[in-house]
Every structure is written in C-alpha cells, then in structure tokens.
C-alpha cells in the first residue's frame, strides 16, 4: 500500500514538473522614455545684469518710455534731444558724419526747433505749478534715457540713418515726420527691454527639482553673475544751454 502511494506521488510530481517546463517565461521589459523637447531659455541680452530696472511693460506689449503719447511739439523736441545725445556720445567711423549732420540740422531746422520749444514750454506752463522745474526734470530724464549705453551701438546706427534721412528736408515735412523718426531712435531701447523681459521670464519659470538623498547634502552650485555695470552718468540739463548749441567732435 505504501509503495502504491509513493508511486502515485512520484507520478503526480513528474506531471507537475512537465507542466512547468512547458510554460514560457514572460520577462517584464520597459521601453525607453523618449527625451522631452524643451525650449531653450532666452539669453540675457548684452549689456544687461540681473536685477536691473527697466520701464514698465504695458498691456499692449509696449514700454513706458519717455517717448510715448507726445504732442507734435514734444516729438520734435525729443527728436532733437536724441540726436544731440548721439552727436555727443557716438564714437567710431560714423562719429564725424553724425556730428556734421547734426550741426547742419540745427541750422536747417532752426525754426522747427524754436517753435517746438516754445509750444512745449506752453504745455508745461498750462499745467500750472512750478512748470519750469518739471520741464527741466523731464528733459534730464530724457537725456539720461538716451545716454544708456546698453543700446548705444544700435542707437548710433539709427541716429546716423535719421540724420541722413532728414538732410535738406523742408521744415513742414520734418515736423510731420518727427514722431516716426523718434520711434526709430527709441526702438533699440525697446528691443533691449523686450529681450531682458524674455530672459527674466525664463528665469522665473525655470523649474526647481528637489532630489531626495539619504545622507548626502548637495551643495548649491554657484551661479555666475554678470559684474555690475556702473550706472550711466546722470546729466542735469539746462534748457537755456540747448538753444542752437553746435556740437564739436570729441
């Protein structure tokens, strides 16, 4: 009886092993995860530094520069201020041409500039209060705005184009086109502000990934910071000194 039981058990074990041998083994495999395409971050524009202040960006994508929403007289006078800065600050091969054409413009458009200055002063006077101080402060901010060196190269190139375009122009045509020419001189600064905002937005949106560690503490990697640029000199503008002032190349 015992021998029969052993024989049955042995036979059952053989059947079980044969059944296991006939089954194929399924090995779990993982497919490689395709790399995630990420947009490259906008670079910090040349001449910028972390934390620098730029004009406010408005809802329409423009920037609150001193050259927005101007009257016809203010456009002419702001254009003169921009070209005056170019004649004083631009260097290199284009310098002589800028200075020469700017001085010629003062003679050719003497009546246009005089009329614009008178009309602009009347606008400040009509607002009441200490209008002369307000006008002087506004002109000081305007000159300092155009004196910012981060857009100097593009600004000087535009100034050379504007002066060449304005050469020999009739006063009425010059006055009518002042707003358009002023916008061209303002554009290098606006383009810089837009590029800086794109870089700043990319930095703010950069994800921070926390990595768990049992014992090791990961030291923060130092981030290189652009050396702080010296602030441009702040000019104090004397409005009387701007009347018919010829610039000499320096």
Q: Supply 151's token pair.
A: 């857009």
Q: What is the pLDDT of residues 72-87, one digit of tens each?
A: 999 999 999 999 999 9
The per-residue pLDDT for 235 is 47
| Helix%, strand%, coil% for the chain, nearest 5 | 55, 0, 40
Question: Are the C-beta atoms of 99 and 248 separated by less than 8 Å?
Answer: yes
The per-residue pLDDT for 233 is 46
pLDDT at 6 over 50: no
Render 17-53 in DSSP notation, one character per residue. Answer: HHHHHHSPPPPP--PPPPPPP-PPPPPPPTT--TT--
Question: Are the C-beta atoms of 45 and 192 separated by less than 8 Å?
Answer: yes
The per-residue pLDDT for 201 is 84
User: Alpha-carbon torsion 56, 58, 62, 65, what sign?
Assistant: negative
Q: Which of 62-71, 200-209, 231-240 has the lowest mean pLDDT?
A: 231-240
pLDDT at 96 over 90: yes
CB-side exposure of 224: number of CA atoms within 13 Å? 2
Report in angstroms the alpha-carbon separations of 42 from 51, 55, 189, 197, 204. 16, 19, 18, 9, 12
pLDDT at 207 over 70: no
Q: What is the pLDDT of residues 10-60, one digit of tens each?
A: 444 444 444 545 555 555 556 666 655 555 678 888 888 898 999 999 999
Task: Report the SS3 class of residue 63.
Answer: strand
The per-residue pLDDT for 42 is 84
Task: Report the alpha-carbon distance of residue 111 to residue 80 in Å, rounded.
Answer: 13
Which has the closest alpha carbon to 142: 111, 166, 120? 120
Task: Report the alpha-carbon distance of residue 73 to residue 116 in Å, rounded.
Answer: 4
Between 120 and 211, the higher pLDDT residue: 120
Task: Report the alpha-carbon distance of residue 136 to residue 42 in Å, rounded.
Answer: 38
Q: What is the pLDDT of residues 140-179, one digit of tens each?
A: 999 999 999 999 999 999 999 999 999 999 999 999 999 9
């Amino acid at each position: 009886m015992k021998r029969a039981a052993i024989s049955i058990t042995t036979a059952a074990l053989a059947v079980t092993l044969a059944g296991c041998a006939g089954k194929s083994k399924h090995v779990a495999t993982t497919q490689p995860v395709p790399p995630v395409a990420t947009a490259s971050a906008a670079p910090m524009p040349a001449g910028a530094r972390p934390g620098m202040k730029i004009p406010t960006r408005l809802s329409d994508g423009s920037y609150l520069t001193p050259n927005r929403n101007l009257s016809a007289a203010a456009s002419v006078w702001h254009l003169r201020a921009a070209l005056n800065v170019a004649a004083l600050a631009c260097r290199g091969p284009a310098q002589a041409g800028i200075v020469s054409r700017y001085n010629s413009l003062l003679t050719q458009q003497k009546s246009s500039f005089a009329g614009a200055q008178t009309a602009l002063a009347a606008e400040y006077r009509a607002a009441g209060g200490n209008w002369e101080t307000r006008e002087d402060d506004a002109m000081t901010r305007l000159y300092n705005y155009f004196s910012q060196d981060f857009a100097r190269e593009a600004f000087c190139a535009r100034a050379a184009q504007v002066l060449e375009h304005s050469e020999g122009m009739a006063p009425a045509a010059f006055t009518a086109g002042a707003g358009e020419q002023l916008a061209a001189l303002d554009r290098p600064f606006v383009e810089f502000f837009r590029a800086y905002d794109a870089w700043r937005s990319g930095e703010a949106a950069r994800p921070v990934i926390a990595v768990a560690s049992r014992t090791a503490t990961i030291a923060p990697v130092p981030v290189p910071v652009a050396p702080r640029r010296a602030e441009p000199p702040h000019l104090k503008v004397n409005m009387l000194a701007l009347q018919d002032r010829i610039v000499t190349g320096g």
